[in-house]
Structure 1
Amino acid sequence: MDDLKHQYIIICESTSHMLNTDRLLKLRGIKTELTPTPSEYGSICTTAIAFDAEDKSFIEDILQKNYLGFQQIHPYQPRKLSGLIRSLKNNIISQPFNEVMVKIQEGKELTKEEIVLLLKSDSQSEKEALYQAADKMREEIIGDTVEIRGAIEFSNYCKKECNYCGIRKGCTTPSRYRMTEDEIMESVYQLHQWGIKTVILQSGEDDYYTTDMLIQIITRIKRETKMGVTLSIGEKSYDEYQFLREAGTNNFLLKIETTNRQIFEFIHPDDNYDTRIQCSEWLRELGYANGSGNMIGLPGQTEEDIAEDILFFKKMRIHMIGIGPFIPAKGTPFETYETGSIEMTLKAVAVTRLVCKNVYIPATTALASIDPDGQTKALKCGANTIMLISTPEKYRKNYQIYSHKNMIDLASAFKSIAEANRSIPKYLKVTPQEVV
């Protein structure tokens, strides 16, 4: 089901209706895929059901005979960027680069070779054209408002030994901590008071927090604040993901980090590539708004590898894609490795916007950690989300997954948004003047 041009999508009234519809269609032998809802039909962080055009009549008959809470069936319409080539008329670009821009303008899917060509753009004029195209795609699909979310890093214990990570098992650099439920809720209340709609609960892979403990925290957040909940807690079993989803978790962030199997195994000595892929598939199947992402500048990584990552995001129908430079932490086996390129990270952000289109792309904390203007730059080339570091002050310096981490707060988020000439979300209950 890779050719979306010959597909239709089903828009449902709710996530539960969508999952029930998808389950029934699969039982009837119909191949379906869960995909981020195109912006013209609903919110980016909702999920639609994609199916091949040849099954349309059969599906319509099934839906008419079963009340499944569906609203409409729409043909998939490739997103075009009318006027893109005209807007680039002052840029000096090569013929091959121009041909790729024409395909983007016409809404055609890019090949791996064309993605690599964009990633390898090295002239200033072509890079500016790439960023301009990505920003135009972002503006037309999502608009100018920057989504703001708050991340609470509730534990820096981890059972894994990733070679680059500052909270890896056995790393002696941080003081270990685990937040209590009440401590977590204090930070949640602060975010809720500011008007923020989604909280991200992030930790190392820490088995101290059982599924029942996590469900209790999620249930309390939902009951007391009605906020959206994103989990970023690593690899779990299918049943654990299902229980957490049923408890009210909306989104799950599990980065692939690289789709190059050899690099993945090099940076994760005690991890399994196939397990990571399986977990991502389970999350999609269970109806999570699925988050992933990669690191730019990993040892041995090429533009071809990054292109494969981007195609993976598209194939897996990822809703939120975090792209940041590789930053090794002190006290790890990789501490002397070179930090990833800011420029290549920005190009990857831009190309991901052009290829994946209607997704959330954060201006990552990692970018801000090696360039004070990194988030502003990312917002100007396709990014549309900022995540605040909302971990309590007494803990946050110990969540050093990479060295010299920038502790993004509301003031710095407002600054980046203003410098990028973008808009603060209307749901916020605090103004820039109040946080200066």
Structure 2
Amino acid sequence: MPKRLREVVALLRAPDASALFAEAQEVRDGVFGREVFQRGVVEFSNHCRKNCRYCGLRKGNAHLPRYSMDCQAIVQAADCAVRMGMGTVVLQSGEESALDIRRVGRIISKIKRLGDVAVTLCLGEHGEDDYRYWRDCGADRYLLKMETFHAGVHRHCRPGQTGRTRLGKVRLLQRLGYETGSGLITGLPGMTPEILANDLLALSQLSLDMIAVGPFVPHPQTPLGDSAAGSLEESLRATALLRVLNPKANIPATSALDALTPKGRELGLSVGANVVMPSVTPESVRGEYFLYPGKNDSSVPVVNTIRRLQQRLREAGYHPSSARGVSPAYCA
């Protein structure tokens, strides 16, 4: 086993991670201070052509009511995000087989006219012409998570798909000039500390602008619904390691942390994260973007959800920023 890999495995297995967490916080504060960038996520459709065995949006989930927001509703949700102080709007959906590429382009253009706001896309795997078109329409960023680089775990969790193909898409997005992000799920069934350590190093070698890591949260209506949830501690250690390895990357404190424990996002920020990404999807459909239990609370109005999160950030000693939040890694 290479020395670097042994060192990362040791940090994942160590009985005490306090020194790692302190180092990650120091690195984050040295680059970003106590500023936390806010990204408002519009989950505009839960249709998906994929059958990933861990995801509630999987094509085979017959229990999930499907929806697709119209253009006006999407732009209105984006406008809400901007008015609430979000510097970035994220357009996210399942990987639709019948996605109207031109419609997405029109929506991007309309959102860019709302103000000085960045647009991030999280729409899955598409062709080069589609990615190029959306970039020409004004999209700034694209997030395409690897989930894992390990061929066996990837094949088990994402049947019919390969990590090699997905990695090729990530590199394509970088070549097209997107501020590019990817990420991992910790604690996937079959994952070991050695596999996770290799994933963390492989992800860091990509020189990404955004990196997301969150724990596996089992969904009862999926083939992996009876599997154990990922370890909160392991996910926090992975976040800290990614911060140390990638000082200038934007790293979110994910909603999956909140799904496992109260104030999970604050824990993520305390170990190196510098971004939060609350849902601004309308209450009428927000609960149906059901990736995993605890993802979205449709009982609370969007405005109240955002205000409460912003208050949580202030109480934890952070400053919710309205800046677009371009990664220093992208500017370098």
Give TM-score scaled by structure 1 length.
0.70
Please tell me the residue identity of whatever aligns with 2:93. Answer: S
Q: Specify the alignment match of 1:49 in structure 2.
A: none
Per-residue Cα deviation, 1:77-112 (whole angstroms, up to 9, x for no partner): xxxxxxxxxxxxxxxxxxxxxxxxxxxxxxxxx822
Q: Does 1:300 align with 2:196?
A: no
Q: Which has the higher contact order (CA 8 A, sep 6+)?
A: 2
- From 220, 223, 246, give the equivalent of 1:330: 220
Between structure 1 and structure 2, the one with the greater Rg is 1
SS in 2 for 1:171: coil
2:44 maps to 1:154: yes
Q: What is the RMSD computed on CA atoms of the aligned residues?
A: 1.6
SS in 2 for 1:225: coil
Report the Cα distance in structure 1 between the residues aligned to 2:136 and 2:205, rounded to whole angstroms.
25
Report the counterpart of residue 210 of structure 1 in structure 2.
Answer: 100
Contact 2:37 2:323 in 1 (8 A): no
Matched, 1:240 2:130: yes
User: 2: distance between equivalents of 1:260 and 1:419?
Assistant: 39
Alpha-carbon distance between aligned partners in 2 of 1:412 and 1:208, rounded to the nearest angstrom? 36
Q: Counterpart of 1:424?
A: 320
1:117 to 10, 15, 24: 10
SS class of match (1:331): coil
SS of the residue 2:64 aligns to: coil
Matched, 1:260 2:150: yes
* Distance in 2 of aligned mates of 1:363 and 1:427: 17
Is the CA contact 1:296–1:324 (under 8 Å) kept in the aligned structure 2? yes
| TM alignment of 1:52-201, pairs within 5 A | 111-123=4-16, 127-201=17-91
Deviation at 1:418, TM superposition (A): 2.8
Whole-Å separation in 2 of the counterparts to 1:424 and 1:201: 21
Conserved 8 A contact 1:219-1:247? yes
Per-residue deviation, 1:226: 4.0
Q: Give the corresponding residue for 1:40.
A: none
Contact 1:313 / 1:356 at 8 angstroms: preserved in 2? no
Which amino acid counterpart does residue 10 of structure 2 have in structure 1? L
Q: Which amino acid aligns with 1:197?
A: G
1:410 corresponds in structure 2 to 306
Aligned to 2:291: 401
Work out whether residues 388 and 410 of structure 1, in 8 Å CA contact, stay in contact via their aligned partners in 2: yes
Q: What letter corresponds to residue 95 of structure 2 in structure 1?
A: E
For the 8 Å contact 2:185–2:215, the answer to whether it is kept is yes
Deviation string, structure 1 residues 165-217 (Cα, Å, up to 9, x no partner) = 11100202321000000010110111121232110000001133221111111
- 2:282 aligned residue (392, 416, 424): 392
Cα distance between partner residues in 1 of 2:307 and 2:20: 29
Percentage identity across paired residues of the two chains: 36
**Quick one: distance in 1 between partners of 2:76 and 2:223?**
36
Name the SS of the counterpart of 1:146 in structure 2: strand
Give the unaligned 5+ runs of structure 1: 1-109, 429-436
Q: Secondary structure at the match of 2:185?
A: strand
Deviation at 1:240, TM superposition (A): 1.1
Deviation at 1:223, TM superposition (A): 2.5
**SS of alignment partner, residue 184 of structure 2:** strand
Aligned equivalents of 1:170 and 1:303: distance in 2?
30
Number of aligned residue pairs? 316
Greater alpha carbon shift after TM alignment, 244-253 vs 270-279? 270-279
